Amino acid sequence: MIYFLIFITTIYFALIALLIIGYNKVETTCIKNTTPKNTFSIVIPFRNEAHNLPNLLHSLAIINYPKNLFEIILVNDYSTDNFKPIITNFKMKHTSINLKLINNHIKSNSPKKDAITTAIAQSNYEWIVTTDADCITPTNWLSMFNHYILEKKPLFISAPVKFIEQDFFLFHFQNLNFISLMGSTIGGFGIKKPFMCNGANLCYNKVTFNQIDGFKGNTEIPSGDDVFLLEKIHTLFPHKTLFLKSTDSIVQTNAENSLKSFINQQIRWASKTKAYKSTFTKLIGIIIFLLNFLLILLLITSIIKPFIWKYLFVVFFLKFCIDFILIYKTSVFLKTQKSIKYYHVISLLHPFFIVFTGVFSLFKNYEWKGRVFKY
């Protein structure tokens, strides 16, 4: 067991170190006075989000980009709340903004992918930008995409997401977990092996989307409208999938407000892992799970065999240090460092969380937008 522990620890340490190197390789992009040339269709599926729509729509209304060069397509995914007056009032106040409200047409086991596909079929512009109804978009959002497209000539752009700041322990736990995912995302792009992205902040070429038949091949999986699309485009165009590392492109979203909803979210995210086609992506998931499982196993074993404590301490210390480097770098970039003061406590709890959600993702159904799914 000790040799296996050393092997997994070494691989984990090397993997996170590689992601840190990749993170540093992704250059930070600053806003520039670039001529607006590209056109964007902002696609937002929503289901029972009346409480979030006002903040989202306000942020879209103040986007610093010519109104004739973008459109907003809201896709109603069978909402039952009173969302229509909110959209009607917005359209009356902002007549210069091209906003369309359409209904989703569910054809598969993935309503969100169906909603995006429905919207893209009715879109008028060259670039598709996706976000979620519980998000707040930055003022220079489209300007940054425009600049990056003109400068780098990508076909798929992943961009940063962070949580809206709150101050309670569950938030800080979620925030550090999310920061680690965002740092790993950036690092993956930096080493030219992107394995994660977030559908709350994506931009991709519509012609390319149609060229790869959109989400075809992944529609049996309820979620994953972001990662599976990244996989398909990266396979065909490995040098055209990039990460826009810019503070002017950070989309903000809400953390979950209860432990139950947070665990449900994490089970949903983890359930996609077995469907990934990338060997590298699967390897990352396995190594992370194994190291956290071994830490728990060492803790239990050390109660019976006290000499195991030294192995537990060494492995945990190495993980603690290498994880902190990536998390700290990312938190500085996202300007969300307040949660760092909880890192030492949360790092003790995190292995139990990883193993719990990993195991349950294999067997447990999860709820998403009022629907129950099992993959």
Residue 316 has pLDDT above 60, yes or no: yes
The larger pLDDT score, comparing residue 122 to residue 259, is at 122
In sequence order, what DSSP letters do the residues of 254-294 get, joined into one string?
PPPSSHHHHHHHHHHHHTTGGG---HHHHHHHHHHHHHHHH
Residue 18 has pLDDT above 80, yes or no: yes
Predicted local distance difference test score (pLDDT) of residue 371: 55
Say if CB 194 and CB 241 are below 8 A apart. Answer: yes
3-state secondary structure of 199: coil
Q: Return the ∠ at Cα 50 (arms to 63 and 369), rounded to 5°.
A: 105
Residue in the structure block whose two tokens are 């030492």? 344
Q: What integer is the mean pLDDT of 9-14?
A: 96
DSSP 125: S
Question: Where in the chain are the domains?
Answer: 32-174+197-268
* Per-residue pLDDT tens over the stretch 349-358: 999 999 988 8
Residue 366 has pLDDT above 60, yes or no: no
Predicted local distance difference test score (pLDDT) of residue 318: 96
Fold of 32-174+197-268: Spore Coat Polysaccharide Biosynthesis Protein SpsA; Chain A (3.90.550)
Say if CB 70 and CB 125 are below 8 A apart. Answer: yes
Predicted local distance difference test score (pLDDT) of residue 244: 98
Predicted local distance difference test score (pLDDT) of residue 364: 61
Q: What integer is the mean pLDDT of 262-271?
A: 79
Predicted local distance difference test score (pLDDT) of residue 374: 59
Confidence tier at 220 by pLDDT (50, 70, 90): confident
Lowest mean pLDDT among 34-38, 52-56, 95-99, 282-286: 282-286
* Per-residue pLDDT tens over the stretch 128-170: 999 999 999 999 999 999 999 999 999 999 999 999 999 999 9
Q: What integer is the mean pLDDT of 13-23?
A: 97
